[in-house]
Amino acid sequence: MKTKRIVITGGPGSGKTALIRHFESLGYACLPEISREVTKKAQQDGIDQLFLEQPLLFSRLLLEGRLNQFHQANNLSDSLVFYDRGLPDVPSYMDYLNTNYPNEFIETCAIHRYDAIFLLPPWESIYETDNERYESFAEATRIFNYLHRGYEQFEYNVHHVPLGTIEDRCEYILESLKPHS
């Protein structure tokens, strides 16, 4: 049985991590977002905002980490694995920043394909900033648009997850993954 790779993505503060945690609580295999880990490590090394100060290094570390996560699915016996963000998030964010990046970023995304993409829209009433999330809501909305375009550039059918309770969002995703005759 091939494990289906499912990406949950969206701009900052759209509820991705809460949704991933809900899928985990239901017993699904889930792989966490790694950008906070990369940011905290850089802060320990004296770089306050690696994403802003050295965006190419930050993005390369994310790409490597997400590629490792992509390959982790090869060792799972689960029918589904949910990712908190996917490889195409990296060039999408770089495009948002108008920052050049090597062609290997595009090649990596083109070669390593996911089975389904679920994009969470900006949701102002739940949006919060913190030490690792510094973007305004307006910036989060622009990032959402870049993510949508980024995944479409890799010819994914992007599912827009409606606003609602975590349970409703989870049900929408699971229903979308069922084969329809």
Both tokens of residue 38? 């990369």
Please state the pTM of the whole predicted model. 0.90
Q: Please report the pLDDT score of residue 147 as a whole number.
A: 98
Domains, the chain: 4-177 (3.40.50.300)
Q: Please report the pLDDT score of residue 95 as a whole number.
A: 95
| Tally of CB atoms within 10 A around 157 | 9
Q: How far apart are CA 110 and CA 104, in angstroms?
A: 10
Q: Are 154 and 162 in contact (CB under 8 A)?
A: no
Q: Are 30 and 81 in contact (CB under 8 A)?
A: yes
The identity of residue 18, as a single letter, is A
Kindly give the parts of the chain with pLDDT less than 70.
Answer: 1, 127-134, 181
Token pair 């503060």 is found at: 13
